[in-house]
Structure 1
Amino acid sequence: MEAFVKTELNHNIGTITFFHPAGNSFPGVQLQKLVEAIEALDQNEAVTLILLQSEGNSFCAGASFDELVAIEDLETGKKFFSGFANVINAMRSCSKLIVAKVQGKAVGGGVGIVAAADYALGTTKADIKLSELTIGIGPFVIEPAVSRKIGATAMAELTLDASNWKTAQWAFEKGLYAQLVATNEALDECTQAFTTQLASYHPEALKEMKKVLWQNTDHWSTLLYDRAAISGTLVLSDFTKNALAKFKK
């Protein structure tokens, strides 16, 4: 199948589903489509709640590797790493609560998306990894979202153990997932029950709760792009170029 980001409305729940044949990774165009989908549902008065999900076995493999290796100047690098900054800020500033349904593994920016959701449900296959240090950069853009959800100590453990996966159970115990189930079928059932119940509450109360959950994060509108500049600089280094070349082989 070709890559897509599609939106569906069922009663007062807006569902965004994304897919990319490369493990649900995100080229820049795909990230922008996700931002636009979030913003459109935010403006839709018929929507009370947003459900974010992907198709396939993996939830999200992070940013596009092909676009990463093609970066040759700072401006392109900043734009590339700003892609997930745009998504996280769209999720943060959205007036509707966002629930993430995580059926499989999440890497890099994919972990950032899960962390930026207001509530995440996952299966025992939904392991996570931040592998950025292995190629000479770091998870600078998504760090505020991940640290906010799991804490600075767990974030350090996840980041510095860059070559290894953390289990879904570990992520659940650290607070990334609010619910963890064994199968995709159970995930479907739990997600439907939870979102249906949540969407039945007073829409204005949910909006006010969203504001409370994200208080003191307004500075992210500049912070995440400052962080993107750090990665944009590092990706031009000989260390990272050599690491990416080895990884590509």
Structure 2
Amino acid sequence: MNSPNLQIEHDGAVATLWLNRPEVHNAFDEHLIAALTHALRALEADAAVRVIVLAGRGRSFCAGGDLDWMRRMAGFSHDENLRDAGALATMLATLASCAKPTIARVHGAALAGGTGLVATCDIALATPNASFGTTEVRLGLIPATISPYVIRAIGARAAQRYFLTGERFDAAQAQQLGLIHEVCEPEALDTRVGEVSEALLAGAPRAQSACKHLVQHVAAQPISTALIHDTTARIAAARNSDEAHEGVAAFFAKRLPDWSA
């Protein structure tokens, strides 16, 4: 299953997918995208694999799209670009929908599509030197295919800022935003990945798969007419409550409210 662009290591029930294009900071091209998609599907179907770790060889996790690949895309027709973008979207969806727990092992640059990979994994651990950013606007592009996963990870408000500015941010900010779960020193990264993997192996696999579906279902409730009506009714009821009457009265009286009333 190994390819020049992607290496797979097995350690018991844990499989690590190593992005292996260190000379270009593990940037995507169509070959790496295809290899990742194939490998993820094969590992999901392998009953001996319980946990999948995504990692990068060399100095970076993944620096986004390969510049030569993007240069070639500029000459594609609309239909060719649809097919090409569709392959990237399929790879991300395959990672997101994987029934098995996934961990991003992040160091160095994790930019554009690399940030998308981090957001798509269930758990993300990073070193302090990791850097993130949805830098697509700096190239006249938009982070479209990664947007569902990045917005889910950091929220619409933060995504609006970083999508528009293309700013890079460090591991501490990524943790504050919710993109990564832990920051650990480089010498401790593999130990922590191993410890989290062990914690995952202690869980029931079907229950973990059900948990993944549960989170996705609950978090995916849309802003709909029904939701707008519901929230309108809630604030109207709150405004008419005894507590609201007391709170407003106390504010204008410049006193502390008495919530026991």
- Contact 1:158–1:166 (8 Å) recurs in 2: no
Alpha carbons of 1:83 and 1:126: their partners in 2 closer, same or farther (altered >3 Å)? farther
- Deviation per residue, 1:51-72 (Å, 9 max, x gap): 1111111110112211111122
One-letter amino acid matched to 1:113: L
- Residue 55 of structure 1 is matched in structure 2 by 57
- Residue 173 of structure 2 is matched in structure 1 by 170
- Residue 69 of structure 1 is matched in structure 2 by 71
In structure 1, distance between residues paired with 2:219 and 2:88: 16
Q: Per the alignment, in what secondary structure is the counterpart of residue 203 of structure 2?
A: coil
Q: How far is 1:27 from its partner?
A: 0.8
Q: How far is 1:36 from its partner?
A: 0.7
Q: Per the alignment, in what secondary structure is the counterpart of residue 24 of structure 2?
A: coil
In structure 2, distance between residues paired with 1:3 and 1:26: 13
- Residue 222 of structure 1 is matched in structure 2 by none
- Contact 1:3–1:18 (8 Å) recurs in 2: no
Q: In the alignment, which of 148, 155, 158 is matched to residue 154 of structure 1?
A: 158
- Residue 30 of structure 1 is matched in structure 2 by 32
Q: Per the alignment, in what secondary structure is the counterpart of residue 101 of structure 1?
A: strand
Alpha carbons of 1:158 and 1:3: their partners in 2 closer, same or farther (altered >3 Å)? farther
Identity of aligned residues (%): 28
Alignment of 1:44-193 (within 5 A): 44-71=46-73, 72=75, 73-162=77-166, 164-181=167-184, 183-193=185-195
In structure 2, distance between residues paired with 1:80 and 1:134: 21
One-letter amino acid matched to 1:85: A
RMSD: 1.7
In structure 2, distance between residues paired with 1:40 and 1:8: 13
In structure 2, distance between residues paired with 1:175 and 1:76: 35
- Residue 230 of structure 2 is matched in structure 1 by none
Alpha carbons of 1:76 and 1:217: their partners in 2 closer, same or farther (altered >3 Å)? farther
- Residue 225 of structure 1 is matched in structure 2 by none
In structure 2, distance between residues paired with 1:124 and 1:160: 24
In structure 1, distance between residues paired with 2:88 and 2:110: 14
Q: In the alignment, which of 191, 196, 199 is matched to residue 198 of structure 2?
A: 196
In structure 1, distance between residues paired with 2:219 and 2:98: 13
Q: How far is 1:216 from its partner?
A: 6.7
Gaps of 5+ in 2: 221-261
- Deviation per residue, 1:90-124 (Å, 9 max, x gap): 01221111111101211111111100000100011
TM-score, structure 1 length as denominator? 0.82
Q: How far is 1:34 from its partner?
A: 0.4
In structure 1, distance between residues paired with 2:9 and 2:60: 21
Q: How far is 1:200 from its partner?
A: 2.1
One-letter amino acid matched to 1:68: M
In structure 2, distance between residues paired with 1:6 and 1:184: 21
Gaps of 5+ in 1: 219-249
Q: Per the alignment, in what secondary structure is the counterpart of residue 108 of structure 2?
A: coil
In structure 2, distance between residues paired with 1:16 and 1:191: 13
